[in-house]
Each structure stands twice: as structure tokens, then as C-alpha cells.
Amino acid sequence: MSTQNRARSGTVPSMETSHDELKDNTIVIVFGASGDLAKKKTYPALFGLFKNGLLPKDVHIVGYARTKMDEAEYHKRTTSYLKNPDNDPEVSAKIEEFKKLSTYISGGYEDAPSFQNLNRHLESIEKNYQRKEYNRVFYLALPPSVFVPVSKHVRENCYAQSGVNRIIIEKPFGSDLDSCRDLLSNVKQSWTEDETFRIDHYLGKEMVKNLLVLRFANVALGNNWDKNSISNVQITFKEPFGTEGRGGYFDEFGIIRDVLQNHLLQVLSILTMERPVSFASEDIRNEKVKVLRAIPPIERKDTVLGQYVGANGKPGYLDDDSVPKDSVCPTFAATVLWIHNERWEGVPFVLKAGKALNEAKVEVRVQFKDVTQGIFKDISRNELVIRIQPSEAVYLKMNTKSPGLNFRAVPTEMDLTYKRRFSDLKVPEAYESLILDAFKGDHSNFVRDDELDVAWKIFTPILHWIDGKDGSRPRPSPYPYGSRGPKELDQFIASYGYRRATEDYSWPTTNTSNL
């Protein structure tokens, strides 16, 4: 086999797009350039792409925000989170180059003259381009309250008349079904679905993207991927810190809107969808929508809510000065979703997320059914675990004979830990991957409008209950800062068929002297 053919072996066909890839004459306009999201995520992602030569040729970045600051202050802010821990002179030189291709304009978000001033600045940059077709990518690193006026003013005052225009919108996309529909309809008055890229950054994470390959490129998994083999599935998000002075924002949305309704539901849709006919973006998104439509609204009995309290020297949620003292906003939630289709009927999907827990972790845990009883008794179940972050990994927990003279089955794992197996590769940041997809015009890892609609249908009833729109608000169970969550959690999960591993099992190593 030739070197060229070996390089192609296993290649996934390129995802089809209906757009042109932006290769030159492109300006990226970052709205909210002075905010935390832009500083911590957007600009580091743009720099990562620039450093690796993946931005369009002669690209220019324009920051826009209400904050009045000179260019020196702007560059200081936008490069404050760029990583160069070893003070590599090449990286330092790239940072200086990155500064030179970025300028700043201040202005309002709701008045036409501010956007007309921005357009004049864009035109002054475009005069230096050789071709007469100019591309503009508008990135809204903004709160949702200004999505509609900004998208409207950009379309009316800053839309390139020749070339490609794209708009990237960050979550949250509304707070319930009605607000989502209102937001979608207003943005659609200015922008087509083809021009719109709605970011859920979990869709850019390496292990979430890997789900497509794990599921559809492995016959060994595919034949067992249904209700006949799988007992239950857990999708878990854990943070070891609380709101830390940002409780005012969090209290408005809560953990379900912040994590479950978007991030974890996106993971679930890829995990459970049917095989797409191709890797074209619309074929993938069609299958995601199909499976989401088979999920009825969550019921109250399938939900556990919690709120962390002070422990281990750490303050409780209500101790945060930015949080209302009588708040019953959940900082932890576990909900069970059911998929009413032939593949998944009867399998519980438990989505769990919480703040101020015992560790930082996002993972998918697929627990298979028991081995037929007879020659084995109380044997551990097989589990496929996909660790999304940190320390990306895939491992299959299986039973094997304990080494030595004893004949005993013990749980161990087939372990693919990325840092060990792919030691020479850098896993890209999710935002780098997604922004690059937007330049390519690839919608595969962005959220479509009908996908949002059906996602909100699933969660809106339970959110209205929590918000007190359907009677009195439920009071979340307290759980100590640094714990695994509310005390009801273990019994709740067990009631849906989950069996915890034996006490002497731990991943990633097994000490046989304890067996």
C-alpha cells in the first residue's frame, strides 16, 4: 500500500456544505469584545487558528463593544488569556502579529448610527483588499437581551453587498419554548438559516465529535446499541466550584437551562440518533431532530433538584451576595428522559448536572444489562464510559479472570486514554473547531432552528414548574459543598436500574492484592 493510500485509510468523507469556504478578504467582527466570553474563549480560539495558519488569508478582526478604550487597552484585554507558558519566542511573535490584524470600535447595541460608524470602519479595511468581494463574519459574544437589535442593525447597516455574510450566535437561545420561538422569528427577519450559526460549544468538543465515529464505524458497538443490551445511560456534568460571586446571572437561568437543556441534550441526541445517510450537515441534524421528537416532556416524578450549602470551609449558594437570600434556584438537577422509538423504548437516560460537587467531570456512562444468571453470580455489569473532559478517554468496563491460581471474575477495563495513546497530538479547543467550521460553512456542529424548538418542548414544562408558573415552586434538597449531590441521588438512580460497581473496582488501575 502506498504512503498516500495509507494516509487516506479510515478517512471520514468530508461533510458536505452548501457554502463557499472563506479563504480570503474576510473580516471577523466580535461584538462584546470587552466581555469575559470574548476574552476567555473567542479571542484565544481565533489566535489558535491564526497560529496554525487556519484563518482566511489577510483576515482582519474588529472588536466592538460599549466600553470606551484605546487600542493598547483593547490588545491587552484580548491577549490576556492567550497561552504561552514557556515564553516561546515564536508564540510571542505570533501574538504581536495577531495584535496587528485586530482593531477596535466602541458603540451602542441599539442605535443605527453606531452600526453605520462600524460599517465605515469595515469599508476602510476592505479598501486594501485586492478583490471586490468581501466576506464578513459577525460573532455575537453578547447577552441574549441584545441578540435581536444587534442582528437587525448588522443586517441593515453592516451587511456586505458582495461576498458572504455569516452570523454566529452564542447560547442561551431563549429561556423557554415561547421565548425561543420569539428570538428565532426575530433573528430570521434579518438572517437566513444558512447564514446563521448557533454555537453550543459542546458540539465542538473532541469526544462529542468522536461519538459519530465510535457509534457508526464499529460493528462491535453497533449491534449492542439498543434496548436489548443496554439497561440505562447516564450523562453527567460536574463542577467542583460554586457560583463564586456570579450568582446573579446563574439565578436567572439555573442549572437546567445552563447545562442540561443544551449541552447534555446535544450529547444525548448524537448518542441515540440513527445512522445518517451521509455526513452532510443536514443529514446529521435531521437524525438528531428525529430522535428528539421521540422524547416527551420531562415529568416531575423523574426529577431531583438540589442546592448546595456551605461545607468544608466553602460558602453555600445563598451565601453569595449576588444571590437573593430566599432563592430556590437549583444548582443541581437530575432528570430522566425516555425515547419512545423502536431502538430505545424503556431505556432511561439520566441527565445529571451540578455545581460545587466533589470533582470536575463530564462523561457518558452506558451500562449494559446483566449477564444471564447460571454460571456467574453477582457479576459486575459491562459499562462503556466516554470521558468528555477532563482527560479525554473511552473505556469499556468488562469482566476478566483474576490473575493467579484462583478462578474468579473481576472487573477491569479496555482503556483508551487520549493522553497516553495520542501523546503527540494536541486536542483542539471546542471554540477553535467551531469557528473553523463556520469559516468552512459547515453547519454539522451547530444547532438548527427546529432542533431548538423540540429541545425546549422537552424541558419547558419542568422549567415552568421550577419557576413557579404552575403552582408553588419546588424547594431543592440541600447538599454539602464538595459532595456528590443530594442524598436522594443514589436511590433515585438505582430506581431506574443503575447498579453501582463493586467497592473494590476503580478506574484506571486495579490493585489485584485487594481482590
Pairwise CA distance, residues 140 & 169, whole Å: 5
Exposure of 365 by Cβ count < 10 A (0-12 exposed, 13-18 middle, 19+ buried)?
A: middle
Among residues 167, 97, 60, 55, which one has the least CA distance to residue 436?
55
Q: Out of 60, 121, 153, 263, pick the active-site residue.
A: 263
Angle of helix 89-100 relative to helix 43-51, nearest 10 degrees? 120
Q: What is the DSSP string of 42-84?
A: IHHHHHHHHHTT-SPBT-EEEEEES----HHHHHHHHTTT---
Task: Decide if 464 is catalytic.
Answer: no
Among residues 83, 155, 163, 199, which one has the least CA distance to residue 433?
199
Pairwise CA distance, residues 331 & 354, whole Å: 6
* Local structure of 401: helix, strand or coil: strand
Q: The C-alpha cell of 318 is what?
A: 445563598
Neighbour order of strands in the sheet with 383-389: 409-417, 393-401, 383-389, 361-368, 230-238, 348-354, 332-338, 303-309, 477-480
Q: The C-alpha cell of 90 is what?
A: 515564536
CA distances for 296 relative to 110, 292, 338, 447, angstroms? 39, 9, 7, 20
Q: What is the DSSP string of 193-232?
A: TTTEEEE-GGGGSHHHHHHHHHHHS-HHHHTT-STTTEEE
207: left (phi over 0), alpha (psi -120 to 50) or beta: alpha
Residue 161 burial (CB count, 10 A): 7
Among residues 25, 104, 14, which one has the least CA distance to residue 63?
104
Residue 324 DSSP class: -
Q: b or e along 394-407 (b: 16 or more beta carbons within 10 Å of the residue's beta carbon)?
A: bbbbbbeeeeeeee
Residue 429 burial (CB count, 10 A): 19
Among residues 28, 70, 72, 80, which one has the least CA distance to residue 50?
28
409 contacts: CB under 8 Å, gap ≥ 6: 376, 379, 380, 399, 400, 401, 402
Beta bridge partner(s), residue 303: 335
Q: Kindly state the greatest CA–CA separation across the chain.
A: 83
* Local structure of 395: helix, strand or coil: strand
Pairwise CA distance, residues 226 & 223, whole Å: 8
Residue 40 DSSP class: I
Catalytic center residues = 263
